[in-house]
Amino acid sequence: MSESRMRLTAVLLLLGCGWGLTQPLVKITVSAGYQPLGLVFWQLLIGAIILGVFQWHRLKRLPFTPMTLLVWLVIALIGTIIPNSSSYRAAFHLPSGVMSIVIATIPLMAFPMAVALGNDHFSWRRLAGLMLGLVGVGLIALPEASLPERAMVAFLPLALVAPFCYALEGNIVARWGTAGLDPIQVLFGASALGAVIALPLALISGQFFVPQAPFILADFTLVLGSFVHVVVYAGYVWLIGRAGAVFAGQVSYVVTGSGVMWAIILLSESYSIWVWAALALMLVGISQVRPRVSEQQAVLDT
């Protein structure tokens, strides 16, 4: 393995571990009783501030047109507000490790969408991967011994809203583009617009809150989780540019595995054999659904 590839692999592992860390941080935050829309607002605001500073240092103009506003609106809604509101509610009831495994369904959901929109082509190998992923979800939902409490199964469909939205978001971007915006401009604009949308929603629903002294652990995990999310997302965008989408896409394996490990370390979670089997099937399914290197051009020399 070349030195360049070793460095990029190290970045891939670091990003995946950082992304996986956000799941237990979310679990800690929601366990304090903070409501989803209030959390979404603060996450978007913190992200907009961090990305705004970065955008200002880049000295790159941010174009305002009807098309860029539409891009920001779509990304804000299906990339953050809807999926995070659902996942925050589900995270209160489900183990953090299970939430990390559920996130692994993103490429599995993205495949049939891509075929329907003409972004990708059908193959039996990928269909088999999709079926394995569905069996993995079934292993979490169906056996009575899979989850600590049987009542948790009712919140599994709510947890699946987020990966569905992320899969839809990726296919929309692949099909119609981002109106000439680079990834940082997209994320900054979507975060800022999303915060403007989320604030009245949080106020009207009674879910708005302002962290006040004496601050509790959930306040720190909220800020830390929002910061980590922005950093790893920006790093992921950088990695795509340096190593190609195929190489960078392998981060999903690290996110899922590290998310489970972080939950064990930080939250002392334990899982039944059914959940471990589901994790294995999900990872195998992803490996079958993900495009081969020959199907996408990778910048990184192997």
Percentage above 70 pLDDT, the chain: 92
pLDDT confidence of residue 77: 95
Q: What is the pLDDT of residue 302?
A: 40
pLDDT score at 129: 85
Tokens encoding 151: 């009542």
- Strand locations in the chain (E): none
Q: Is the dihedral of CA 139, 255, 169, 81 positive or negative?
A: positive
Spatial separation of the C-alpha atoms in residues 74 and 70, rounded to whole Å: 6
> Cα–Cα distance between 104 and 123 in angstroms, integer?
20
- How many domains in the chain? 1
Q: What is the pLDDT of residue 92?
A: 92
In a domain, 229, yes or no: yes
Residue 302 in any domain: the answer is no
- For residue 26, tell me if it sits in a domain: yes
14-67: pLDDT as tens digits? 988 998 999 999 999 999 999 999 999 999 999 999 999 988 888 778 888 999
What's the pLDDT at 251?
78
Integer Cα distance of 101 and 188 in angstroms: 28
Band (156; pLDDT cuts 50, 70, 90): very high
The band of 109, judged by pLDDT with boundaries at 50, 70 and 90, is confident
User: Which of 23-27, 85-89, 161-165, 170-174 has the weakest average pLDDT?
Assistant: 170-174
Q: What is 55-94 written as a DSSP string?
A: HHHHT------HHHHHHHHHHHIIIIIHHHHHHHHHHHHS
Residues 161/106, Cβ–Cβ less than 8 Å: no
Q: Is residue 263 part of a domain?
A: yes
Statement: residue 69 has pLDDT above 90: yes
Within a domain: residue 235?
A: yes
Closest CA to 18 of 238, 188, 259, 181: 259
- Burial of residue 121 (CB within 10 Å: 0-12, 13-18, 19+) is exposed
Is pLDDT above 90 for 276? yes
Q: 257, 254, 218: which is closest to 27 by C-alpha?
A: 218
**Whole-number Å distance between alpha carbons of 109 and 122:** 13
On whether residue 209 sits in a domain, the answer given is yes
- Please state, rounded to an integer, the average pLDDT across all residues of the chain: 86
Higher pLDDT, 2 or 220: 220
Residue ranges making up the domain that contains 156: 3-295
How confident is the model over 209-248, as pLDDT tens digits? 998 888 899 999 999 999 998 888 878 877 776 776 557 7
Say if 227 falls within a structural domain.
yes
For residue 67, count other CB atoms closer than 10 A to its CB: 14
Identify which of 252, 239, 241 has the alpha carbon closest to the alpha carbon of residue 289. 252
- With contact defined as beta carbons under 8 Å apart, do 288 and 135 qualify? no
Give mean pLDDT, residues 288-292. 66
Any domain includes 301:
no
